[in-house]
Chains A and B, each alone.
Chain A
């Protein structure tokens, strides 16, 4: 497993470079928006990766609520954290794309507002995990994650059911996309998914190490008074 990580990291690096080449060089220039449309190849895959991570967080939280499984709890924590990073990318690249195309950085449109709410829910989740020392924290966080996940389909389907400023979805939205654009989009999604998986893997290893060490410290603290008593008697 230790050897697999650097190999996968190199492969992901190569894939990310190839994906960037596809997005910036190979994909054709969009006629109306011009080169700025190439933000699409980072904006959309980041959103999709965040949605997948939040979906995993939802499943892991359900498993934790049913079985009180520590691994499920760690997976939920890790996917929420990395999901927030990808959601942040989505929220930052969106306005940068909107400014030259719509003439505004932000509008309180349903899709945009729901995405911001989604980001805020998962940021609250991370803040809860980071700063609450109660033994009930994983349970409360799992409940929050279950409710937070309800916002994911709302974000996705908001542009199907309501009139919004945001363009229609790429999949099932009725619009047509040049095959080379599709290719660039899917390669970028694959690259970002692999990158997200690798980051989750590192974060999971860190969490395992942190919990093992905290357990060792707690055990030492429990045994310490006994050993000092034994020494004094």
Chain B
């Protein structure tokens, strides 16, 4: 049973890690866009 749980946990760990990297990339891009907008408004 421990192998079964290990496989299922490993599967979801991989998927969640990838989703977390996507979220991090979204956040970074959103910050870059906000920073750019701020720079444009200052000019």
Tell me the A residues contacting B by CB distance below 8 Å: 20, 35-36, 38-39, 42-43, 46, 82, 85, 88-89, 92-93, 96-97, 99-100, 195, 199, 202-203, 206, 209-210, 213, 216-217, 220
Check B11–A46 contact: CB distance below 8 A.
Answer: yes
Tell me the B residues contacting A by CB distance below 8 Å: 1, 3-4, 6-8, 10-11, 14-15, 18-19, 22, 25-26, 29, 32-33, 36
Q: What residues of chain B lie closer than 8 Å to A88, measured between beta carbons?
A: 14
Q: What residues of chain B lie closer than 8 Å to A217, measured between beta carbons?
A: 36
| 4 nearest A-B pairs in the assembled complex, by CB-CB distance | A39-B7, A96-B7, A93-B7, A85-B18
Check A36–B4 contact: CB distance below 8 A.
Answer: yes
Known: A39-B7, A206-B22. 16 other contacts (CB 8 A): A36-B1, A36-B4, A42-B7, A82-B18, A85-B14, A89-B10, A92-B11, A93-B7, A93-B11, A199-B18, A199-B22, A206-B29, A213-B29, A213-B36, A216-B36, A217-B36
Q: What residues of chain A lie closer than 8 Å to B3, measured between beta carbons?
A: 36, 39, 96-97, 99-100
Check A209–B14 contact: CB distance below 8 A.
Answer: no
CB-nearest residue of chain B to A207 = B25
- A199–B17 alpha-carbon span in the complex (Å): 12
Q: What residues of chain B lie closer than 8 Å to A213, measured between beta carbons?
A: 29, 32-33, 36
